[in-house]
Amino acid sequence: MFQRHLHRHDDVALVVSALRDDPQCLPVLGTLGAALRRDVASSLREVIATGVWQEDARVRRDAARWREGAPRFSSFLDHGLEKRRNLGPKSEHLHAALLTFPETRAALYRVHAAECPQHCRTQTGAFSTDRHVDDYREALFGWYAVIQHAHACVVRAARWFEDSELPDPRRPQTFTAWLARGASRRDQRAGDETPRTVREEAVREILLMMHAWSPHTFEAIDVAFQKAEGVAASHAWGGGFEPAGRPEAQAAAEALASVLSPQERRHVRDVIAGIESDDAWDRDMDLAKDSTVPCTSDRHRAYGAGPEEREDCAGARGRVYEEVSRPWSEGVDREADAARLARFLLGSRTERIETALATARAAVARDITETAPQVWHDNAETLREAREAAGLGLHDAADCLGIKPATLQRFEQASGKLPGRPASLGYLQLLTLACAQAGRTAPGCIPQAISQPVTSLPITL
């Protein structure tokens, strides 16, 4: 795993080694980390949206080993994560990368809660689905490489900034302003002001990388800032925390406290407070239940995909999460219900229609089912006109019913042998569904006992 996805990891190592002791390494690292963090979020969101994680060999092997009916997303996610930080990316590293991306976090919590397929509802051809997994792995290992250097680069840059004996035209009046200027703005005059939003973004990226690598970073910064303000403070690191990263966090925090002004320290505290509020569990639950967060898959950014389709996809995902989050009651298999609802809502268009027809057909009494062929034969012309008016094509209808288009056309002309009961009932219910989606009134010749099971289903085609 580590050797296969070292492309981004080696890129980061090359950049850091090229800059060596240059203090410009910190703003460059911040820019690189921000880009990799976005790549981690977008590629993971695409992996979830397209459902390509279900094709992973490890996921299929685990499902077969434990004799599970549906693959589990945790098998895919845990495959790229390590237990110890010196062996590869951990779950804490991934979690820190997603702190400011609500769409990805919502999709991640939904697929974890439902443990069922959460693929995008847009019906398009497969677009390099394997690439999504590779992009996610490479971006994750690149992010892992970046966060290893964050504390050391902060110390190095702070020492350079604090040393006033070395004249350098790159040195502005404040540390955060220099941090936000980045490597691409070297020729800008030192006295130029940097917008507050740009400074905030730069500071947040550095803090996120430090926090991802060491969970003691924020506490170390708080203690160092209090000491710089003359307040007696001490660390409260408990034995239950991961001890790794404490010296790095303390050294970086003390270096920051020595170069930041009181206004800058206040600004850093505000940024940390914003990060910690994003890290709250309640906020994660709200994101998972929020069906207004649109699906941001690349398939919904293609030509012909409007905002309504993205919102419908988000609503379907939200209903899946709400279904699986209901309180447990005896005799009800919530996991099976959630998987069934997920396949029903989030499957491809043909799969959703077939599932809807199968579910509706089971709710029709046998004596009503036996009348379906005669209803179709006696009202063939009326039903055909309704199908055409609802925009349901002959070939599409035949595919959903599992018969040939020529057979369907002959049935619609009421010629030859009467259609069988499964095809007849499916045709009447498919026509009812098409009329409901097109906003038209279904033909009155279709009995209510046949049409009602379809219109009561929560489906959006």
Residues in the chain: 461
pLDDT of 164 reads 59
Question: Measured between alpha carbons, how far is 149 from 154 in angstroms, rounded to an integer?
Answer: 9
pLDDT of 84 reads 82
CA distances from 360 to 6, 225, 433 (A): 51, 65, 10
Question: Measured between alpha carbons, how far is 225 from 256 in angstroms, rounded to an integer?
Answer: 8
CB 56 within 8 A of CB 79: yes
Question: Measured between alpha carbons, how far is 314 from 103 in angstroms, rounded to an integer?
Answer: 10
CB 248 within 8 A of CB 214: yes
Q: What is the pLDDT along the chain (461 residues), one digit of tens a residue?
A: 445 556 666 777 777 777 777 877 888 888 889 989 999 998 998 888 888 888 777 888 887 776 666 678 888 888 888 888 888 899 999 999 999 888 888 888 888 777 766 677 655 445 556 678 888 988 998 899 999 999 999 998 888 888 755 566 666 678 888 777 653 343 343 444 456 677 788 899 999 999 999 988 998 999 999 988 888 777 776 655 677 788 899 999 999 999 898 998 999 999 999 888 887 767 777 777 777 777 777 767 665 667 777 777 888 888 888 777 777 777 777 777 777 777 777 776 677 777 778 888 888 888 888 888 888 888 889 999 988 888 888 888 888 888 888 888 888 888 777 777 888 898 899 999 888 877 888 888 998 888 888 888 765 55
Single-letter code of the amino acid located at 389: A
pLDDT of 38 reads 92
Single-letter code of the amino acid located at 143: W
Question: Measured between alpha carbons, how far is 245 from 217 in angstroms, rounded to an integer?
Answer: 8
CA 132 to chain centre: 12
Q: Which of 61, 53, 58 is nearest to 116 (CA)?
A: 53
151 CB-near residues (< 8 Å, 6+ apart): 210, 213, 214, 217, 245, 248, 249, 251, 252
Single-letter code of the amino acid located at 266: R
Question: Measured between alpha carbons, how far is 48 from 111 in angstroms, rounded to an integer?
Answer: 8
Cα dihedral 252/257/258/262 (nearest 10): 160
CB 96 within 8 A of CB 272: no
Sign of torsion over alpha carbons 407, 411, 415, 417 = positive
Q: Which residues pair with 82 in a beta bridge?
A: 90
- SS3 per-residue string spanning the chain: CCCCCCHHHHHHHHHHHHHCCCCCHHHHHHHHHHHHHHHHHHHHHHHHHHCHHHHCHHHHHHHHHCCCCCCCHHHHHHHCCECCCCCCCEHHHHHHHCCCCHHHHHHHHHHHHHCCCCCCCCCCCCCCHHHHHHHHHHHHHHHHHHHCCHHHHHHHHHHHHHCCCCCCCCCCCCHHHHHHHCHHHCCCCCCCCCCHHHHHHHHHHHHHHHHHHCCCHHHHHHHHHHHHCCCCCCCCCCCCCCCCCHHHHHHHHHHHHHHCCHHHHHHHHHHHHHHHHHCCHHHHHHHHHCCCCCCCCHHHCCCCCCHHHHHHHHHHHHHHHHHHCCCCCCCCCHHHHHHHHHHHHHCCHHHHHHHHHHHHHHCCCHHHHCCHHHHHHHCHHHHHHHHHHCCCCHHHHHHHHCCCHHHHHHHHCCCCCCCCHHHHHHHHHHHHHHHHHHCCCCCCCCCHHHHHHHHCCCCCC
Supply 337's token pair: 């219900």
Sign of torsion over alpha carbons 201, 182, 150, 153 = negative
Terminal Cα-to-Cα distance of the chain (whole angstroms): 40
pTM of the predicted model over 0.95: no
pLDDT of 123 reads 53
pLDDT of 459 reads 58
pLDDT of 268 reads 92
CB 344 within 8 A of CB 355: yes
| CA max distance for the chain | 100
CA 327 to chain centre: 25
CB 400 within 8 A of CB 353: yes
CA 165 to chain centre: 49
